[in-house]
Amino acid sequence: MDFEKRLQQAIQRGQREKEARGRREAAEALSEEQLRRLHSQYRLALAEHIEQCLRKLAEHFPGFRFETVMRPEGWGAQISRDDLRVDPGRRRRNEYSRLLLLVKPFSEAHLLELSAKATVRNKEIFNRSHYQFLSDADLDSFREVIDLWVLEFAEKYAASR
């Protein structure tokens, strides 16, 4: 066999290998529709966990109003309350406390994103986000983050009373 023929065969083998690798990668990669379904599944699971945590928190601190949230910015829940504080000098102040946890909507970046805003007695205590790529998302780590943020809020609110 001459060199030219062997060279052509090597090139053809390389091209077949490249095509096969491309087909494997395409089969492994999640389609856009699969990613949307996965995001929706995760969003529902996390929104349910958020609701459970915030309902329990509201039970421990009477006066908080619980609200399920479905907005263009995301899905989740919030608890909030307004307090009237009368200082010894008879000065009255309104004090607002809230914790808002949202799962952001599906985006082209293919992220699962959780955001939180917390205010205790008119002071913002945190404004955070936690995200992972949908293909690598770990729901247990998101649940842990939700738990930590709710516990931190509870501690800060209890300390402010």
Per the prediction, the chain carries an average pLDDT of 89
Query: Are residues 92 and 144 both part of a single domain?
Result: yes
pTM comes to 0.77
List all residues 6 or more positions away from 61 whose beta carbon is below 8 Å from its beta carbon. Answer: 81, 154, 157, 158
Sort strands 65-71 and 74-86 into parallel, antiparallel or unpaired. antiparallel
Query: Are residues 19 and 35 both part of a single domain?
Result: no
Domain count, the chain: 2
Average pLDDT of span 111-139: 93
Average pLDDT of span 107-129: 94
Question: Which sign does the torsion angle of CA 69, 70, 72, 75 carry?
Answer: positive
Query: Are residues 138 and 94 both part of a single domain?
Result: yes
Average pLDDT of span 136-142: 91
Tell me whether residue 33 is exposed, middle or buried, using C-beta atoms within 10 angstroms of its C-beta: 0 to 12, 13 to 18, 19 or more: exposed
Query: Are residues 12 and 70 both part of a single domain?
Result: no
Phi and psi, residue 19, nearest 5°: -65, -40
55-113 pLDDT, tens per residue?
999 999 988 999 999 999 999 999 999 887 777 777 888 889 999 999 999 988 889 99
Query: Are residues 7 and 78 both part of a single domain?
Result: no
Give per-residue burial for 147-161: e unless 16+ CB within 10 Å, then b.
eebbebbbebbeeee
Query: Are residues 74 and 16 both part of a single domain?
Result: no
- Check pLDDT > 80 for residue 117: yes
For 138, the domain range is: 31-160
